[in-house]
Amino acid sequence: MQEWKKAFESKDVDSIMAFYAPEGFTAFDLMPPFHFEGGEMWRKNWVDFYEAFDGPIELELADLRVDAQADLAIARCAVRMAGTMFGRPMDSWVRTTNCFRRVEGEWLMIHDHVSWPIDFATGKALMDLTPAGAGR
């Protein structure tokens, strides 16, 4: 997860894509569409995402928990993302669950799920919450 964090912060699409399984990958991300399937669709998401940021992106991981057995693993954590997105400061924690499969001795992500809690009364994402194990 620390190596993934470095690749994410590098804003290098090839570096980040190296963490994902080339076949059978799916994602539920913050940005549309509702469901991503396949590497090319996911690659375009990363290109669009990085283009939305001016300058560096800073990540912080909190409450990381990894459970693994044989060739499957699940990583859960909170991720703080900070930077300038669409010309505005952005600093928010998201919930992340990643599923991995060991492919030829290498752990590759087969599913990525990122979300914010929702206030059902307003229908708005709660982007200002901080997890209990966070540094800020």
What pTM, to 2 d.p., does this model score?
0.89
* 48-79 pLDDT per residue, tens: 999 999 999 999 999 999 999 999 999 999 99
- Please answer whether residues 77 and 132 qualify as being in contact, where contact means their C-beta atoms are separated by less than 8 angstroms: no
Please report how many Cα atoms fall inside a 13 Å half-sphere around the Cα of residue 26, on the Cβ side: 5
Q: What is the mean pLDDT of the chain?
A: 94
As given in the structure block, the two tokens for residue 104 are: 């030829």
- What residues contact residue 101 under an 8 Å CB cut-off, 6+ apart? 21, 71, 72, 73, 107, 108, 110
Q: What is the pLDDT of residue 89?
A: 97
